[in-house]
Amino acid sequence: MDRKTARQKALALVSQMTLEEKASQLRYNAPPIPRLNIPAYNWWNEALHGVARAGTATVFPQAIGLAAAFDEELISSIGSAVSTEGRAKYNGLSQLDDRDIYKGLTFWAPNVNIFRDPRWGRGHETYGEDPYLTARLGVSYIKGLQGDGETMKAAACAKHFAVHSGPEALRHEFNAEVSEKDLQETYLPAFKACVQEGNVEAVMGAYNRVNGEPCCGSYRLLRDILRRDWGFQGHVVSDCWAIRDFHEHHMVTYTAAQSAALALDAGCDLNCGSTYLHILNAQQKGLVTEEQITESAVRLFTTRFLLGLFDGSEYDQIPYTAVECPAHLALCQRAAKESAVLLKNNGILPLKKDQLKTIGVIGPNADSRAALMGNYHGTASEYITVLEGIRQYAGDTVRILYSEGCHLYRSKTENLAQDDDRIAEARMVARNSDVVILCLGLDETLEGEEGDTGNSYASGDKTDLLLPEPQRRLMEAVAAEKRPIILCLLAGSDLDLSFAAEHFDAILDLWYPGAQGGKAAADLLFGETSPSGKLPVTFYSSLKQLPDFTDYSMKGRTYRYLEGEAQFPFGFGLNYGDTRVCSVRLAEPVSLDLPPKSDAAVLSLLIETENQSQQPVDDVLQIYVQDLESQWETPHPHLAAFHRIHFSGAQKQTIQISLPSSRFTVVDEKGRRFQDGSRFAIFAGFSQPDACSARLTGKTPLRLECTLQAPSLS
């Protein structure tokens, strides 16, 4: 069903409702209207990396891990699997008239905010720090989730619009002050792509204000940019209880009725919260009109018709057995393998099982289910921790010794014990092992959403980049045993790995790898699969490199504006092969003679790549661009394209990549995007073209200069 037809049906249905009935449908827990055969519908559902909070589902790696895969096809496949499971659940549950929260087909995902500061607790919900990578993966997930059938398979929601990335503790009252350049260059591009390329059905506003306006009541964001400039046709939903913040925390209104009116007038159709209970009061006071209430109701019922919730759909026969089916579990394992980033390897990896008698597995995240899941997760019927994955792989031929080593963040594991009560055991395990696999990191109790269930403190933000102190003491104790040590990091963000880089033989970042993560980890450690992920965020050397957390200027932030050198750079990741770019050249004549709003390809690159080892590997080809003439260009080259390549062994492959005109544009201080200069440097490699990546990989991306005729400003 196309949107025009769905809207006509919605108009006809809403026209039969009373004012009170229309107003009731603007709440996330919309009640039934029996006389019109409209069942109750709860709009609130989550699907960040699998159907969440509604019982059994495939738990895929957390979003930041999926970003590390740099794989649009993978993200789209996961989106499709998630919506299949969502449909399977909805079909069965609605037949039993279970229409509770988390059981609908409107999924509030993906999170396409920019992970601008490593302290932000919710950063692992995002696709990282780069606007282009975030846009490409966000669009891919949306297309997979919504499908391309006659009806919409599920409705995706791009959140949180906009300029939202902490601090969590201040989000209900915080005003993010942002320049027009940073707004248009960094914070909005992914949302624009989700709307114009992904045709996302919903957009969720953020808690904070942007330049004085609360996001869920922002005329600039919702009316001017989202609907007028971008042509958004779907519905807008508030973040949960964010409209209440208007009068309770932002102090831009005095009453709940005024807050409801401001949000509705700006274009927020659906209230996650209770403030829209005051919509009728606002209407009676003349703050909003019945026509505005009607329009929001029509938008919401248009979505329900697009989903086939009244007329049926081709997805109504998806059986419950599609949930956590073998194909989805295999996809989950594939995603965990592709997402892992090898940060250091002195040659110890891959491990050779036939050369080992004893493996020591140590650390609070070694046998932790929480460390597999991240946040906003479903419930798996089986969890394979790193310890279990290694034990399964090793079989009966290798002895596995285990010690928790320490609590994740407390000073002891047993209340009556002395501090560091598992350190001695960890040292004994290390002494008696041929190799130690040390599993450290965080989980959703240490980084997550403010006030979310399970957080060990009110804000889910980090105060620094250090591992919790008990884990730091454990690292030092195990290192003192002078055994070969491999660090497996399970966390969702940048952590200081300077001690590990100096004292350990290998570092493998697994992120939060999903319910099958332990099996994937074992396959990676023992060389069944080569690591191939790349960092979607910068690992900084110190917080001293960064501005204050509340400063939303991009100066000094992310790889594009970094001052100094990273500990591990964006785009970096090793593998077990020897991959390199051999040559890069233009494949076609260069032209920018395009209509002003066109984003057609302006040049095509032919890139010869090679794996010089016999080891089968994947690697991610990365293309970076820098305008050599414009004062508005970012200080460092920006990601312009990426392509995952599989090498079956020692072989060469020639890859053709086309670059659209938008990748050769800059944004000025007024927020205008345009092509400014005519001379550009293009870099092709398996990392970004920075000195740190060159030192860590021993390879430098190839550089190609080209001249493009700049069109006149329109």
- Which token pair is 660? 């659209």
Helices of type H across 317-422 = 326-339, 370-373, 386-394
Is residue 239 annotated as part of the catalytic site, yes or no? Answer: yes
Q: Strand, coil or helix: what is 684?
A: strand
Can you tell me the distance from the alpha carbon of 685 to that of 700, in angstroms, rounded to the nearest whole number?
Answer: 7
- String of b and e for 71-87 (b: at least 16 CB within 10 Å)? bbebbbbbbbbbbbbbb
- Which token pair is 209? 């204000």
Which amino acid is residue 310, in one-letter code?
F
- Find all residues with CB under 8 Å of 430, minimum gap 6, and list them: 360, 362, 436, 478, 481, 483, 485
Instruction: Round the CA-based radius of gyration of the chain to a whole number and report it.
Output: 26
- Find all residues with CB under 8 Å of 482, minimum gap 6, and list them: none
- Find all residues with CB under 8 Å of 292, minimum gap 6, and list them: 264, 265
* Residue 299: half-sphere exposure toward Cβ, Cα within 13 Å: 24
Number of H helices, E strands in the chain: 20, 23
Asked whether 531 and 524 are in contact (CB, 8 A), the reply is yes
β-strand partners of 706: 680
Choosing from 182, 239, 245, 618, which is the catalytic residue?
239
- Which token pair is 520? 């994937």
Asked whether 380 and 58 are in contact (CB, 8 A), the reply is yes
Specify the residue for token string 């260069």: 590
DSSP 220: I
Sheet holding 601-611, edge to edge: 579-586, 601-611, 651-660
Would you call 669 exposed, middle or buried from its count of C-beta atoms within 10 A (0-12, 13-18, 19+)? exposed
Asked whether 188 and 225 are in contact (CB, 8 A), the reply is yes
- Which token pair is 161? 């619009």
Catalytic residue ranges: 239
